[in-house]
Structure 1
Amino acid sequence: MKIAIIGYSGAGKSTLAEKLSHCYSIPKLHMDTLQFQPGWQNSDREWMLDEMKNFLTKHEAWVIDGNYSWCFYEERMQDADQIIFLNFSPLTCLFRAFKRYLTY
Structure 2
Amino acid sequence: MRVIILGNAGSGKSTMARRIIGTMNIPILSLDEIAWNEGPERKPFTESLRELQRFINHHDQWIIEGCYGDLIEAALPYCTALRFLNPGVQVCVEHCQNRPWEPDKFPSPEAQQAMFAGLITWVKEYEIRDDEYGLQRHRQIFDNFTGAKKEYGAVDAYNQD
Whether these two folds match at TM > 0.5 is yes
Counterpart of 2:90 in structure 1: which amino acid? L
Which residue is 2:87 aligned to?
88
What RMSD over aligned residues (CA atoms) do the two structures have, in Å? 2.4
For the 8 Å contact 2:31–2:66, the answer to whether it is kept is: yes
Q: Which has the higher contact order (CA 8 A, sep 6+)?
A: 1
Counterpart of 1:92 in structure 2: which amino acid? V
Compute the displacement of 1:17 (Å): 1.7
Higher gyration radius (CA): 2
Which has a greater percent of helix?
1
For the 8 Å contact 2:14–2:65, the answer to whether it is kept is: yes
Compute the displacement of 1:59 (Å): 1.2
Which residue is 1:78 aligned to?
77
Equivalence map 1:6-85=2 (5 Å): 6-71=6-71, 73=73, 75-85=74-84
TM-score by length of 1: 0.79
Counterpart of 1:8 in structure 2: which amino acid? N
Name the count of aligned residue pairs.
Answer: 103
Structure 2 unaligned regions, length at least 5: 102-108, 113-161
Q: Which aligned segments of 4 or more residues in structure 1 are displaced greater than 6 angstroms?
A: none
Compute the displacement of 1:3 (Å): 0.8
Compute the displacement of 1:36 (Å): 2.6
Which has a greater percent of strand?
1
Compute the displacement of 1:22 (Å): 4.3
% identical aligned pairs: 26
In structure 2, do the counterparts of structure 1 residues 55 and 11 end up closer, same or farther at CA, with 3 Å as the change threshold? same
